[in-house]
Structure 1
Amino acid sequence: MTDILTTPPAAAVAAPSNRLPIKALLGLFLAGFISILTECLPAGLLPEMSRTLGTSVSLTGQTVTLYALATALGAIPLARATATWQRKHVLQLALAVVAVMNVLTALSSDYTLTMVLRFVAGLGTGLIWPLLGGYAARLAPEGRQGRAIAIALAGTPIGLALGIPLGTLLSSVGGWELAFYAAAAVTALSMAWVLVAVPNLPGRPVESRFTISQVLVIPGLRPILFALTTYMVAHNLLYTYITDLLAQVGMGSQTGWVLFTFGVTSVLSVLVVGAHIDRHLRRLTVSSTVVFGAAALVLGAVSGVPALVYVAVAAWGFAFGSSPSLFIGAVINATREAADVAQSITITVFSGSIAVGSFLGGLLIAGLGTASLTWAALALLIASAATVIGGRKHTFPPNG
Structure 2
Amino acid sequence: MSTTSPAKGTAPPVSAPLPWSGLLALSTAAFTAVLTELLPAGLLPRMAPDLGVSEARIGFLVTGYALASFAAAIPLTALLRGLPRRPVLVGALIGFAVSNAVVAVSSSYALTFGARLVAGGMGGTLWAMLAGYAARMVPAERRGRAIAIVLAGITLALALGVPAGTALAGTVGWRTAFGLLFGLAVLLVGWVRWRVPGFPGETPHARVPLARVAALPGIPAVLSVTLFLLVGHQVMYTYVAPFAAHAGFGRTGLVLLVFGAATVVGIWITGVLVDRHLRPTLVAALALCAAVMLALGLAAGVPGVLLISVALWGVAFGGAPTLIQTALIDASGPERADVATSLQTTVYNAGIAVGSLTGGLALDGWGAGALPWTALPLVAVALGVVTAARKAFPATRR
TM-score by length of 2: 0.80
Partner of 2:327: 330
Alignment of 1:74-85 (within 5 A): 74-85=72-83
Please, which of 13, 31, 34 is the counterpart of residue 32 of structure 2?
34
Cα deviation, 1:20-47, whole Å, max 9, x if unaligned, reads 2211111111112222333344565678
Partner of 1:275: 272
Partner of 1:378: 376
1:54 equivalenced with 2:54 (yes/no): yes
Q: Could you say if the C-alpha distance between residues 183 and 280 of structure 1 is closer, same or farther in structure 2, counting changes exceeding 3 Å? A: same
Partner of 2:307: 310
1:91 equivalenced with 2:79 (yes/no): no
Query: Hey, what's the Cα distance between the residues in 2 that align with 1:390 and 1:161?
Result: 33
Query: Hey, what's the Cα distance between the residues in 1 that align with 2:198 and 2:249?
Result: 48
Q: Equivalent residue of 1:154, what SS? A: helix
Query: Hey, what's the Cα distance between the residues in 2 that align with 1:10 and 1:294?
Result: 47
Partner of 1:286: 283
1:351 equivalenced with 2:375 (yes/no): no
Aligned-residue offset at 1:229: 0.6
Q: Could you say if the C-alpha distance between residues 231 and 110 of structure 1 is closer, same or farther in structure 2, counting changes exceeding 3 Å? A: farther
Residues 295 and 316, structure 1, Cα contact 8 Å, conserved in 2: yes
Residues 65 and 354, structure 1, Cα contact 8 Å, conserved in 2: no
Query: Hey, what's the Cα distance between the residues in 2 that align with 1:207 and 1:68?
Result: 33
Aligned-partner residue type, residue 310 of structure 2: V
Q: Equivalent residue of 1:275, what SS? A: helix
TM-score by length of 1: 0.80
Q: Equivalent residue of 2:71, what SS? A: helix
Q: Which moved more, 1:379-388 or 1:177-186?
A: 177-186
Partner of 1:129: 127
Query: Hey, what's the Cα distance between the residues in 1 that align with 2:159 and 2:102?
Result: 25
Q: Could you say if the C-alpha distance between residues 172 and 337 of structure 1 is closer, same or farther in structure 2, counting changes exceeding 3 Å? A: closer
Cα deviation, 1:65-100, whole Å, max 9, x if unaligned, reads 443332232122212322344433322221232234
Partner of 1:23: 21
Could you tell me which runs of 5 or more consecutive residues in structure 1 were left unpaired when the two chains were aligned.
1-8
Query: Hey, what's the Cα distance between the residues in 1 that align with 2:123 and 2:166?
Result: 21
Q: Could you say if the C-alpha distance between residues 324 and 195 of structure 1 is closer, same or farther in structure 2, counting changes exceeding 3 Å? A: same
Q: Equivalent residue of 1:20, what SS? A: coil
Residues 157 and 266, structure 1, Cα contact 8 Å, conserved in 2: yes
Q: Which has the higher contact order (CA 8 A, sep 6+)?
A: 1
Query: Hey, what's the Cα distance between the residues in 2 that align with 1:379 and 1:183?
Result: 39
Aligned-residue offset at 1:277: 1.3
Query: Hey, what's the Cα distance between the residues in 2 that align with 1:297 and 1:69?
Result: 32
Could you tell me which runs of 5 or more consecutive residues in structure 2 were left unpaired when the two chains were aligned.
1-5
Q: Equivalent residue of 1:35, what SS? A: helix
Aligned-residue offset at 1:231: 0.8
Aligned residues: 388
Query: Hey, what's the Cα distance between the residues in 2 that align with 1:106 and 1:302?
Result: 45
Q: Could you say if the C-alpha distance between residues 83 and 300 of structure 1 is closer, same or farther in structure 2, counting changes exceeding 3 Å? A: same
Aligned-partner residue type, residue 98 of structure 1: F
Query: Hey, what's the Cα distance between the residues in 1 that align with 2:7 and 2:153?
Result: 20
Aligned-residue offset at 1:201: 4.0
Query: Hey, what's the Cα distance between the residues in 1 that align with 2:376 and 2:186?
Result: 39
Query: Hey, what's the Cα distance between the residues in 1 that align with 2:242 and 2:166?
Result: 14
Cα deviation, 1:160-199, whole Å, max 9, x if unaligned, reads 3332333454466567666655544443443343243334
Aligned-residue offset at 1:355: 3.4
Q: Could you say if the C-alpha distance between residues 106 and 155 of structure 1 is closer, same or farther in structure 2, counting changes exceeding 3 Å? A: same
Aligned-partner residue type, residue 262 of structure 1: F
Residues 215 and 342, structure 1, Cα contact 8 Å, conserved in 2: yes
Query: Hey, what's the Cα distance between the residues in 2 that align with 1:247 and 1:97?
Result: 40
Q: Which moved more, 1:63-72 or 1:229-238?
A: 63-72
Partner of 1:139: 137
Aligned-residue offset at 1:149: 3.4
Q: Equivalent residue of 1:322, what SS? A: helix
Aligned-residue offset at 1:283: 1.2
Query: Hey, what's the Cα distance between the residues in 2 that align with 1:129 and 1:137?
Result: 14
Residues 80 and 206, structure 1, Cα contact 8 Å, conserved in 2: no
Q: What is the root-mean-square deviation in Å for CA atoms of aligned residues?
A: 3.7
Residues 79 and 127, structure 1, Cα contact 8 Å, conserved in 2: yes
Partner of 1:190: 188
Q: Could you say if the C-alpha distance between residues 251 and 192 of structure 1 is closer, same or farther in structure 2, counting changes exceeding 3 Å? A: farther
Partner of 1:226: 224
1:120 equivalenced with 2:118 (yes/no): yes
Aligned-residue offset at 1:269: 1.4
